[in-house]
């Protein structure tokens, strides 16, 4: 099996998981980031993000891993260069491509002094057409530096990993998508991903290799669209079940049973049908907004996408409504938020529902206390009115109500009797993820409010 010389630009959630998994498979990897503090931490063996299992793999592969803030030597050395920088949402909902544009020009400048071919693999989520745009910027960068025709190919390789299981998802993905026009570049990508496709390795994460992983080759535009369409579909699935749950509440049906019943249909599938306070995070909100903005650019008015986002916004508000129904005025009431990261097993707070809910509660005059196993400190910085404590029971103590925002395992397993005894009337537990047994909550002396399961 060939060992590649890999460069990865952007050492965030995606770049780190990509670099670690490729080093684990025997390649030499240099991770580059413009954030000097981040690179210094990685050089010291410290992980700048919370991601289970990642630190161990980085340590294990340390001989095949390097970290730097300099782009030039990485581009010079690499056979394959992954780009995994952020593509955040601009104010109008479109995609801010400034980081990726800066990287593309930088690659171009270095390529002016290099003859060997380079495969530039874009892992960042970018609007359709960005592959060609990146190619153009690279070529411009080369020409600005006095070079002629740069020897490179751009490939789109969208990333589908989930934070919290990023490494596992990189080694055991559901599928790999390669979008490219160049047959040569496609062959390089096939060779690079051969162990992942064939699952011809065993890891501590999953000792038993699985079936071959599908590798789908498409044109550039389709690969770029697959990423947006995937995230928009997943967000739609959650918003759909939340809408159904809201109707269930009014009609007396149980949303969990309904989800089970519809999920057994193989055409629908049971995953992503859990009603609750809705989605957040670094991907769904920006990607749904971006797809809407992209379609508008082409003169197409998306109908479903804004509705999917609106249902989600409404779910955040429903938390406040559920609290008001039992507590009436929220002024002066103590409300505990349990779990603050946008999902369990990550420290990521980007577009986390907890922050919006905390701000809304503060706006209503409530005293808001929050607990999270890893994201507490950063959440406190993001919403200064949110008082952060270091233990879930400390958050609950004296609270009129507690809201489960993020279903960390330790919060799912909370001692309900102890929680009930620590709270003050009306001892309301809003189960934002429908994880508790309503009967057990009531037996513990608390009022229970879930989503679609009154």
Which sequence positions are flagged as catalytic?
283
Binding of ligand NAD by 159 (CB under 6 A) = yes
Q: Report d(CA 61, CA 167) in Å as an integer.
A: 13
Instruction: By CB under 6 A, name the one of 13, 168, 228, 436 that touches ligand NAD.
Output: 13
Binding of ligand NAD by 179 (CB under 6 A) = no
Stretch that binds ligand NAD, among 158-166, 315-323, 384-392, 446-454 (CB under 6 A): 158-166
Instruction: By CB under 6 A, name the one of 14, 54, 320, 399 that touches ligand NAD.
Output: 14
Binding of ligand NAD by 124 (CB under 6 A) = yes
Q: Which two tokens stand for residue 89?
A: 């949402």
CB of 120 to ligand NAD, least distance (A): 14
Number of Cβ within 10 Å of residue 144's Cβ equals 12
Stretch that binds ligand NAD, among 121-129, 210-218, 300-308, 361-369 (CB under 6 A): 121-129
Instruction: By CB under 6 A, name the one of 22, 75, 81, 103 that touches ligand NAD.
Output: 103
How far apart are the two ends of the chain, measured CA to CA in Å? 57
Stretch that binds ligand NAD, among 33-41, 137-145, 368-376, 405-413 (CB under 6 A): 33-41
Q: Report d(CA 220, CA 157) in Å as an integer.
A: 9
DSSP-derived 3-state class of residue 292: helix
Instruction: By CB under 6 A, name the one of 12, 127, 278, 392 that touches ligand NAD.
Output: 12
* Cis amide linkage into residue 381, ω under 30° from 0: no
CB of 87 to ligand NAD, least distance (A): 4
Q: Quick check: 383 and 318 in contact, CB under 8 A? A: no
Number of Cβ within 10 Å of residue 405's Cβ equals 30
Binding of ligand NAD by 70 (CB under 6 A) = no
Q: Quick check: 77 and 117 in contact, CB under 8 A? A: no
Q: What share of the chain is helix, strand, coil (3-state, %, to 5)?
A: 45, 15, 40
Q: Report d(CA 166, CA 370) in Å as an integer.
A: 26
- Closest residue to bound ligand NAD by CB: 12
Q: Which of residues 254-313 bind ligand NAD (CB under 6 A)?
A: 282-283
CB of 237 to ligand NAD, least distance (A): 17
Q: Fill in the DSSP letter of residue 213.
A: P
CB of 350 to ligand NAD, least distance (A): 8
Stretch that binds ligand NAD, among 52-60, 85-93, 236-244, 421-429 (CB under 6 A): 85-93
* Strand arrangement of the beta sheet that strand 334-338 belongs to: 387-388, 367-371, 334-338, 401-404, 428-431, 447-449
Stretch that binds ligand NAD, among 8-16, 22-30, 190-198, 424-432 (CB under 6 A): 8-16
Q: Which residues contact 273 (CB under 8 A, 6 or more apart)?
A: 237, 238, 241, 259, 262, 263
Complex with ligand NAD: residue 345 or 354, whichever CB lies closer = 345
Q: Report d(CA 232, CA 355) in Å as an integer.
A: 22
Number of Cβ within 10 Å of residue 48's Cβ equals 17
Binding of ligand NAD by 102 (CB under 6 A) = yes
The residues that bridge with 83 in the sheet, in sequence order, are 9, 122
Instruction: By CB under 6 A, name the one of 4, 6, 38, 273 that touches ligand NAD.
Output: 38
- Binding residue count for ligand NAD, defined by CB under 6 A: 27
Binding of ligand NAD by 87 (CB under 6 A) = yes
Binding site for ligand NAD (CB under 6 A): 9-15, 32-35, 38, 84-87, 99, 102-103, 123-125, 159, 161, 163, 282-283
């Amino acid at each position: 099996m060939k060992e590649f010389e890999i460069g990865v630009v952007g050492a965030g959630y995606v770049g780190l998981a990509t670099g670690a998994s490729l080093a684990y498979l025997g390649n030499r990897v240099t991770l580059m980031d413009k954030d000097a503090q981040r690179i210094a931490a990685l050089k010291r063996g410290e992980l700048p993000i919370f991601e289970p299992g990642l630190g161990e793999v980085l340590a294990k592969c340390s001989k095949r891993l390097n970290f730097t803030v300099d782009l030039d030597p990485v581009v010079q050395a690499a056979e394959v260069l992954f780009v995994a920088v952020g593509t955040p949402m601009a104010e109008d909902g479109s995609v801010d491509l400034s980081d990726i544009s800066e990287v593309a020009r930088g690659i171009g400048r270095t390529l002016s002094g290099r003859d060997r071919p380079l495969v530039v693999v874009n892992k960042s989520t970018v609007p359709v057409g960005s592959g060609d745009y990146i190619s153009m910027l690279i070529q411009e960068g080369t020409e600005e530096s006095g070079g002629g025709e740069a020897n490179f190919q751009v490939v789109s390789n969208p990333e589908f990993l989930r934070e919290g299981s990023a490494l596992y998802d990189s080694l055991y993905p559901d599928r790999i998508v390669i979008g490219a026009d160049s047959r040569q570049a496609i062959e390089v990508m096939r060779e690079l991903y051969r162990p992942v496709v064939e699952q011809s390795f065993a890891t501590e994460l999953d000792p038993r290799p699985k079936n071959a992983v599908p590798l789908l080759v498409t044109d550039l535009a389709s690969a770029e669209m697959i990423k947006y369409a995937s995230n928009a579909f997943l967000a739609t699935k959650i918003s759909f079940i939340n809408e159904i749950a809201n109707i269930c509440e009014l009609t007396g049906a149980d949303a969990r049973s309904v989800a089970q019943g519809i999920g057994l249909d193989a055409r629908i599938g049971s995953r992503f049908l859990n009603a609750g306070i809705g989605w957040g995070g670094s991907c769904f909100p920006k990607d749904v907004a971006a797809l809407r903005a992209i379609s508008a650019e082409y003169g197409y008015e998306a109908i479903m996408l804004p509705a999917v986002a609106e249902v989600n916004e409404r779910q955040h508000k429903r938390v406040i409504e559920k609290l008001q129904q039992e507590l009436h005025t929220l002024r002066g009431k103590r409300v505990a938020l349990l779990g603050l990261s946008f999902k369990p097993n990550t420290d990521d707070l980007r577009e986390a529902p907890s922050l919006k809910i905390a701000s809304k509660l503060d706006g209503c005059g409530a005293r808001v206390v929050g607990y999270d196993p890893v994201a507490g400190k950063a959440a406190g910085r993001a919403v200064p009115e949110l008082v952060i404590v270091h233990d879930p029971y400390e958050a609950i103590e004296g609270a009129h109500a507690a809201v489960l925002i993020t279903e960390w395992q330790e919060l799912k397993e909370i001692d309900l009797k102890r929680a009930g005894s620590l709270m003050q009337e009306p001892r309301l537990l809003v189960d934002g993820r429908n994880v508790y047994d309503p009967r057990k909550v009531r037996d513990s002396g608390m009022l229970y409010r879930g989503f679609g399961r009154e």
